[in-house]
Amino acid sequence: MFWLLVIYVSIPFIVKLCPSIQAKIVFLNFVRMPFFIDLKRPQDQGLNHTHNFYLQPESGVNIGVWHTVPDQRWRDAQGKHGDWYDATLSSAHSAILYLHGNAGTRGGDHRVQLYKVLSSSGYHVLTFDYRGWGDSDGSASEGLMTSDALFVYDWLKRRLDAKTPLYIWGHSLGTGVATNLVRRLCERGSPPDALILESPFTNIREEARSHPFSMVYRYLPGFDWFFLDAITANNIHFASDENVNHISCPLLILHAEDDSVVPFHLGKKLYSVASQSQSLSGHKVQFVPFPPTLNYKHKFIYRSPELPTILSDFLGHQQTDDSA
């Protein structure tokens, strides 16, 4: 018991003295699950209509990317290479840029299952590992995650037909990247066709305070000073509640009520802020909760049989408004 007490008391001081530790806990990019996956072979994960390739957001830095074509093209995709996949982007099928959360890689099982759902619904899905994740070069930071996302978005946008919708989907920590990205796009006058946030939070400080990892220290005097200020010291903010006041595109929020990683009340709070945002006035803002009886928790919303209909109703309505 004595040594447990020593460890318990020591950890806050270690984090305060070495704030880089807190950054690693936020990103968890050193946790590569599932283990032993070959990211060059998405077909090993059941994605036999997916192409793996690498882009360079800056000289000497490679990031790994997967492009999954709509399920209707899976037979045509067999044995094809990069040029064929690039050419498919000129089709009329909409595209989704997926921004994953912390830990794992673009090959995480719950992520792969979502790609399959989106592909079967007729979307191109482009996803990538931020630098410092998976087989991508470099080290992690909020700024670099956002700049990587912007680089991949622009790469994809250039290859799509001008009239083809391009949506951005973020999950968990990726929702913070997504709102950062969309804010940049809106500020330069080129918003995406819609933003979809799955299991989002308001900002990283509120999420860290609510995270299960913080439970044993949450009520410790000085918790904010020891832990949350260490996050800020690493220039990590992910301020989605601020970003939604600078976003001007349709916004869909999906959240399971039994999510213990990013509590449901944070997603609901973000929706409340977004619904009052002046920049989102005139755009559709929708919140879709999933009751705890469904057991979707933090990363299983893809299991919802309603998801394709939710998406088509939301995105289809948005497209109808644009053509009116």
- Residue positions annotated with a catalytic role: 172, 259, 298
**Phi-psi group of 82: left, alpha or beta (phi > 0 → left; psi -120 to 50 → alpha; rest → beta):** alpha
**Mutual orientation of helices 173-187 and 142-159 as an angle, nearest 10°?**
60
Query: What are the counts of helices (DSSP H) followed by strands (DSSP E) for the chain?
Result: 13, 8
122: exposed, middle or buried (C-beta count within 10 Å: 0-12, 13-18, 19+)? middle
What distance in Å separates the CA atoms of residue 323 and residue 20, rounded to the nearest whole number? 49
DSSP state, residue 25: H
Contact 235, 142 (CB under 8 A): yes
Strand locations in the chain, DSSP E? 50-58, 61-68, 95-99, 124-128, 166-171, 194-198, 251-256, 285-290
